[in-house]
């Protein structure tokens, strides 16, 4: 017996739906946003290469609280040897960042291993939280070792005095806001030699855990170091970071992710023996 017309119709609709979805999934870099149907809760289903965003058990960011952190007895001081380096200001459509020419940015030495500073970028509001509190912005210093592993140093920023690095590049940031940035291209502005000295100020306290990149494909096995000292950024600087971005990226913070039993380790020089 032939199926009634209505169910053939329903089947065709379903089939067309599947085709459209399959077509979407061909692209390695499906479009993701921070709200609506392509928002963070949907990232894992936007493309097979984004599956870790929803299946992963080591995702970032997280809320760092007294209940989920322990003293890391084996943790060592974070050593940073950053250089004055030729840098480029970029808008990749999702966030504003600074990229360093080749390996000229310098290194962070984490657990005795060298990680080269590749780029830094800002999120606003902040992604990691401290005892549930969300700050105005967060700076991510992204490092990569020769074996490809990532380590990120995160600096939380609350509204207050201007942040020195952003103050230095403010005019370029305004220029960037006036550049067109298409959906598949980055806008670049040369910064010349940039001094990142103030970013390597000695760190007395940090939080360490194993997590992921906070944007798709949400790659795991990232060694996170969230600095305990919250620094400042002016409201004008937060606005300048948002200005070049499309509305769906102006609030580019991924919500906090479950720890699934992970413990966050605390390094604190004052409580060492």
The token pair at 217 is: 């494909």
- Of residues 81 and 204, the one with the C-beta less far from ligand NAG: 81
Token pair 């604190």: residue: 268
Q: Which stretch in 64-72, 81-89, 225-233, 238-246 sits in contact with ligand NAG by CB under 6 A?
A: 81-89
Question: Do 237 and 166 contact (CB within 8 A), yes or no?
Answer: yes
Q: Does residue 107 interact with ligand NAG by CB under 6 A?
A: yes
Distance CA 87, CA 144 (A): 17
Q: Does residue 86 interact with ligand NAG by CB under 6 A?
A: yes
- Of residues 25 and 104, the one with the C-beta less far from ligand NAG: 104
**CA separation, residue 88 to residues 148, 180, 189 (Å):** 22, 16, 6
Q: Does residue 57 interact with ligand NAG by CB under 6 A?
A: no
For the chain, give me the number of helices (H) and strands (E)? 6, 15
Q: Does residue 103 interact with ligand NAG by CB under 6 A?
A: no
Q: Does residue 102 interact with ligand NAG by CB under 6 A?
A: no
Q: Does residue 88 interact with ligand NAG by CB under 6 A?
A: yes
Number of residues that bind ligand NAG (CB under 6 A): 7
Listed in sequence order, the residues at least 6 apart from 120 whose beta carbon sits closer than 8 Å to its beta carbon are: 97, 98, 139, 140, 141, 142, 196, 199
User: What is the smallest separation between the CB atom of 240 and ligand NAG, expressed in angstroms?
Assistant: 22
User: What is the smallest separation between the CB atom of 178 and ligand NAG, expressed in angstroms?
Assistant: 20
Q: HSE (CB half, 13 Å, CA atoms) of 5?
A: 0
User: What is the smallest separation between the CB atom of 268 and ligand NAG, expressed in angstroms?
Assistant: 25
- Which secondary-structure segment (H or E) carries 198? none
Q: Does residue 197 interact with ligand NAG by CB under 6 A?
A: no
Q: How many residues belong to the chain?
A: 273
Q: Does residue 190 interact with ligand NAG by CB under 6 A?
A: yes
Q: Does residue 114 interact with ligand NAG by CB under 6 A?
A: yes
> For binding to ligand NAG (CB under 6 A), which residues are involved?
81, 86, 88, 101, 107, 114, 190
């Amino acid at each position: 017996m032939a199926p009634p017309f209505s169910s053939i119709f329903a089947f065709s609709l379903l089939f067309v739906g599947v085709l459209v979805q399959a077509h979407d999934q061909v692209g390695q870099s499906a479009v993701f946003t921070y709200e609506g149907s392509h928002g963070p809760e949907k990232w894992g289903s936007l493309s097979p290469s984004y599956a870790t965003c929803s299946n992963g058990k080591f995702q970032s960011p997280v809320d760092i609280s007294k209940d989920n952190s322990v003293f890391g007895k084996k943790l060592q001081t974070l050593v940073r040897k950053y250089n004055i380096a030729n840098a480029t200001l970029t808008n990749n459509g999702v966030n504003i960042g600074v990229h360093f020419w080749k390996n000229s940015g310098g290194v962070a030495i984490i657990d005795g291993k060298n990680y080269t500073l590749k780029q830094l970028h800002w999120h606003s509001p902040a992604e990691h939280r401290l005892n549930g509190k969300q700050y105005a912005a967060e700076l991510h210093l992204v490092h990569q070792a020769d074996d490809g592993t990532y380590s990120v140093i995160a600096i939380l920023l609350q509204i207050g005095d201007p942040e020195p690095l952003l103050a230095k590049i403010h005019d370029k940031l305004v220029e960037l806001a006036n550049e067109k940035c298409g959906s598949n291209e980055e806008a670049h502005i040369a910064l010349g030699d940039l001094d990142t000295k103030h970013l390597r100020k000695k760190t007395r306290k940090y939080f360490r855990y194993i997590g992921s990149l906070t944007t798709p494909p949400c790659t795991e096995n990232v060694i996170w170091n969230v600095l305990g000292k919250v620094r400042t950024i002016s409201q004008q600087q937060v606005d300048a970071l948002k200005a070049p971005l499309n509305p769906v990226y102006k609030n580019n913070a991924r919500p906090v992710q479950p720890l699934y039993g992970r413990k966050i380790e605390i390094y604190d020089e004052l409580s060492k023996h």
